[in-house]
């Protein structure tokens, strides 16, 4: 014969199981939007001011500072490339250098993303360019100019969202690895 405490535990567990089965999964997913913006900043340096960047440690220090500036705007520093080009000034050939800095930023939204988001990214690019210019000046590397590239590319995706424990809607990422079960 069962005592009343054991019976209460068994009945309580059964009722809880039935209640939870009626609620379904605690995970709620809905459709959202993901936009990835990509752009390039161009830093033009004459040969004299480029020379310090040929030293690997100085270049790495500058790149670390550029990365920090870019990340302070929630963007991603995707890398850089240095190109050399010649231009003729009168009877003299001058060698200049251009450092291309590739930047991207991802924006998630529950609603279709409006045009102002791209305009905000473009404004942030100009601010990033100004801060890079200022930082280079502080490091005695005086660029001729820092320009935002003519093209900002945008990649749009529809992306699933889930509600976090705090109630905020965040992009859904699966926590399970790909199944090894046979697909039919």
Each residue of 87-115: pLDDT tens digit?
Answer: 787 888 888 888 899 999 988 777 777 77
* pLDDT over 60 (residue 181): no
pLDDT at 149: 80
* pLDDT over 70 (residue 176): no
pLDDT at 147: 84
Which residue has tokens 């003729």?
A: 88
pLDDT at 22: 57
The average confidence (pLDDT) of the chain is 80
Tokens, residue 104: 């991207």
| pLDDT tens-digit readout, 148-171 | 886 777 777 777 777 677 766 677
Which neighbouring-strand residues pair with 77?
A: 103
Can you give the pTM of this predicted structure?
A: 0.68
Which neighbouring-strand residues pair with 43?
A: 99, 146
Tokens, residue 106: 């991802």
- Counting Cα atoms < 13 Å in the Cβ hemisphere of 143 gives 23
Name the class of domain 38-162.
alpha beta
Distance of alpha carbon 81 from alpha carbon 164, whole angstroms:
39
Burial of 100 (0-12, 13-18, 19+ CB in 10 A): middle
Closest CA to 82 of 122, 40, 39, 121: 40
Residues in the chain: 184
pLDDT at 101: 92
User: For 35-39, 46-50, 70-74, 139-143, which range has the lowest pLDDT when averaged over its residues?
Assistant: 46-50
Distance of alpha carbon 84 from alpha carbon 100, whole angstroms:
11
Distance of alpha carbon 161 from alpha carbon 172, whole angstroms:
5
| pLDDT tens-digit readout, 70-91 | 999 999 999 999 888 887 878 8
Q: What does the domain layout of the chain look like in residue ranges?
A: 38-162
Over residues 47-56, the mean pLDDT reads 80
* pLDDT over 90 (residue 132): yes
């Amino acid at each position: 014969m069962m005592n009343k405490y054991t019976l209460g535990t068994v009945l309580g567990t059964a009722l809880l199981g039935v209640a939870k089965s009626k609620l379904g999964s605690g995970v709620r997913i809905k459709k959202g939007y993901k936009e990835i913006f990509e752009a390039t900043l161009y830093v033009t340096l004459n040969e004299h001011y480029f020379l310090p960047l040929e030293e690997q440690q100085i270049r790495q220090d500058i790149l670390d500072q550029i990365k920090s500036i870019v990340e302070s705007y929630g963007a991603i520093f995707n890398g850089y490339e240095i190109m050399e080009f010649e231009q003729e000034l009168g009877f003299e050939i001058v060698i200049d250098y251009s450092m291309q800095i590739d930047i991207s930023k991802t924006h998630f939204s529950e609603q279709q993303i409006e045009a102002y988001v791209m305009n905000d990214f473009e404004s942030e690019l100009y601010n990033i360019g100004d801060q890079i210019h200022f930082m280079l000046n502080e490091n005695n590397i005086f660029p001729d100019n820092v320009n935002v590239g003519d093209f900002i590319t945008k990649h749009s995706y529809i992306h699933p969202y889930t509600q976090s424990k705090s109630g905020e809607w965040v992009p859904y990422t699966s926590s399970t690895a790909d199944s090894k079960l046979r697909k039919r």
